[in-house]
Structure 1
Amino acid sequence: MKLPKKKIIWIIEHCDTKGMYPFERAVTLANFLRDESVFLFVKTENQALIDKLAKTGLTIVLFDRFIELKKKIRELEPDLIVHDGKDTQLEQVEMIRPYCSTIVHFDDFGVGAQLVDCHIIALFGEPHEDSIPQELAGSYAFAVPPNLQQTAQEIYDAADCNIKGELPHIVIAYEDGDANNLTYRTLRHLTQLHIPLKISIAIDDDYKHDIDSLKMMALSRRNIELVQRPDALLHLMPKADLIICNANYTPYKVAAAGIPCITTAQHEQELNYTFAREMNGFIHIGLGRKMKQSILQNAVMELLLHESRRERAVRKQRALEILTNNDILKNLLLDLAYSRHNLAHM
């Protein structure tokens, strides 16, 4: 006998510090759960993103205020609610709690996370004594979008840590807005390295700064290119010998493929995330707006000059098996939707 479909609601609210990835995670996992009845409640002012979501074939419901969700959720009577993006308040969870037996949040640093049944954390910090039982923190919390899956698999299959071209190729990729313009700061420091390099700068749709200053700096040295497109990082990953990026979700994209990587935090909260550290194959150099030229240059030279160092970094990243995450998350969410879970024993 076939079980009736479960109703699953995703609530995704835009958050400046987390960028577009929560929407990608929601769409990726919702596609894996198409056998169920899935609804995406979306709050964003980004019209390009809304247009993109409309093409997914998923049921998209736009909203402006969280209070609007109460009536819609009460009418749908969902079996599972998943929230991603903006941090929540206690009253938000209390408002929808009577209408759903199981609530799951991803990467919620608000007090609302204290009231949910399961809090899945990819942006985890150091372990702390007052962690609550329903927290599940680990690298498996990063869902892999299809375009990343394809790109990472191609790089993974090549399995080569050697410098690919005549010149070492460094990719600079600060996603999610780059509020402090670390792209410019990093490029300026790299141009002071007196060794032949090829440098590519990934400029995505979220980059908020004037690119003319980058173009002027690129003119000062050969073999610097600006790549301006929505998927700039994915486009450049197969060609990269080294990636320099921010320290939130972007390192997961790098680790999915296995590419030597230097990370720096875009803001203080990002400084607390501990995934992109040595234990997982990264060199982390602290807060980006305090980045010292000598520290960045030493990290770059360490990875470019020592093949064994690059190999160790790639080996640690690939040991995480990021490309298997989607199956783990799909099964976890289905267990929660069908009440097959016992978080105390997970």
Structure 2
Amino acid sequence: MQKRKIIWIIEHCDIKGTYPFERAVTLANLLQDESVILFVKTTNQQLIDKLAQTGLNIILFERFTELKKKIREIEPHLIIHDGKDTLVEQVEMIRPFCSTIVHFDDFGVGAQLIDCHLVALFGESHEDSHVHELAGSYAFAVPPNLEKVAYEVLETPDSTIKGELPHIVVAFEDGDNNNLTYRTLRHLTQLHIPLKISVAIDDDYKHDLDSLKLMALSRKNTVIVQNSDALLQLMPQADLIICNANYTPYKVAAAGIPCITTAQHDNELNYAFTREMNGFIHIGLGRKMKQSIIQNAVMELLLHEQRRERAVRKQRNLEILTNNEILKNLLLDLAYARHNMAHI
């Protein structure tokens, strides 16, 4: 049978960060038996350089209108869009040249016109979704570096404190516009119990590092870890992770680590994945975070082993590490027109 021609369109979106690019690369690598092209829009040169090293067919673009001619020439069997929310006009422009269009986490009006909408960042009302919408934790693709770390953590399934001191990892990815990293660390330094604290700083962190380092110096066993994969580096040693409520909690759940989440902005406040049913403690909007609330959540998890065990069990029951196979098969079914979305 003829190879399917699959096009990915990935546009950078500040509030969703760089994960949509990771998801596209992860799934494109799984579909290499087909003919796959990634159309990429971003001004992040570091990200562009990283994508260039994947060996995938990457084409940069600046305006969505540039894609019309290219897509018409390719005649793809499947178009997948990720990152920025879409407009009706964007979908209408490419619809005549492809029979099947799939979007990930698209909260724009363009999502109403597509064939399949896969949603990891679902809200409380996702059970009343449109017929073409598939919302669930399986919409998170697991990058290979995360998969490796998760299996390393899973080798030691015990949820007891790993070292002499409880180890808290603070990790606010996707830019941390409201500097919740600083706010969280300040609250943690006021806890009068022996702790080890590691602060993960990735390439997207936009704020002054000196103030963080100065605060770290004021408390023993507190360090700043700065590199592109800081969270993944720290996960195997973490007893508790404090993070944003976007895609980061999926990374935590893939391994199963007690976790407190707080929203970086109003959009994240609406995402329902980071709730008690999935093993998280969610404390609301980060810029309104009260010291007493985060400290109580930390103490609840550190002092009660059964609470940690329950959190880990709920996360691992989601079986995030099986997601890639689910997504690969679904996308292939759509590319080969094996699915009628009305009957999924």
TM above 0.5, yes or no, is yes
The alpha-carbon deviation at position 130 of structure 1 amounts to: 6.1
3-state SS of paired residue (1:88): coil
Separation (CA, whole Å) in 1 of partners of 2:187 and 2:21: 33
SS of 1:158's equivalent in the other structure is coil
Residue 130 of structure 2 corresponds to: 132
Give the aligned partner of residue 109 of structure 2.
111
SS at match of 2:225: strand
Residues 69-84 of structure 1 aligned to structure 2 (within 5 Å): 69-84=67-82
User: Shift of residue 129 of structure 1?
Assistant: 7.8
**Root-mean-square deviation over aligned CA pairs:** 0.7
Confirm whether residue 96 of structure 1 aligns to residue 94 of structure 2: yes
C-alpha contact (below 8 Å) 2:10/2:24 kept by paired residues: yes
Provide the residue aligned with 1:315 in structure 2. Answer: 313
Shift of 1:131: 2.7
Q: Which residue of the partner structure matches residue 268 of structure 1? A: 266
Q: What does 1:193-272 align with in structure 2 at a 5 Å threshold?
A: 193-272=191-270
Query: 2:214 corresponds to which letter in structure 1?
Result: M
Aligned-pair distance for 1:202?
Answer: 0.1
Q: TM-score normalized by structure 1?
A: 0.99
Task: Give the whole-Å Cα distance in 2 for the aligned partners of 1:162 and 1:130.
Answer: 39
Give aligned pairs, total. 344
Runs of 4+ in 1 over 6 A off after TM superposition: none
Aligned residue number for residue 293 of structure 1: 291
Are the counterparts in 1 of residues 10 and 41 from structure 2 also a CA contact under 8 Å?
Answer: yes
Determine the structure 2 residue equivalent to 1:192: 190
Partner of residue 6, structure 2: 8
In 2 relative to 1, CA 93–193 (structure 1 residues): closer, same or farther, beyond 3 Å? same
- Matched letter for residue 93 of structure 1: V
Is this contact kept in 1: 2:19–2:247, CA < 8 A?
yes
In structure 2, the residue matched to 1:50 is 48
Task: Answer yes or no: is the 8 Å Cα contact 2:126–2:135 preserved in 1.
Answer: no
CA distance in structure 1 between the aligned counterparts of 2:235 and 2:7, rounded to whole angstroms: 33
Q: CA deviation at 1:48?
A: 0.9
Aligned to 1:18: 16
SS at match of 2:155: helix
Task: Report the residue type matching 1:312 in the other structure.
Answer: R
Identity fraction in percent: 81
Counterparts of 2:340 and 2:89, CA distance in 1: 26
Partner Cα distance (2:120, 2:53) in 1: 27
Deviation at 1:345, TM superposition (A): 1.6
- Offset at 1:127? 1.8
2:154 match: secondary structure: helix
Tell me by how many angstroms 1:128 deviates. 5.5
Q: What do the CA deviations read for 1:95-136 (whole angstroms, capped 9, x no partner)? A: 000000000000000000000000000000012686310000
Amino acid at match of 1:278: E
Deviations 1:177-214 (A, max 9, x none): 00000000000000000000000000000000001110
| Partner SS for 1:143 | coil
The answer to whether the aligner puts 1:330 opposite 2:325 as a matched pair is no
C-alpha distance in structure 1 between counterparts of 2:191 and 2:34, whole Å: 54
- In structure 1, runs of 5+ residues without a counterpart are none
Q: Please report how far the alpha carbon of residue 235 of structure 1 lies from its aligned counterpart in structure 2 after TM superposition.
A: 0.2
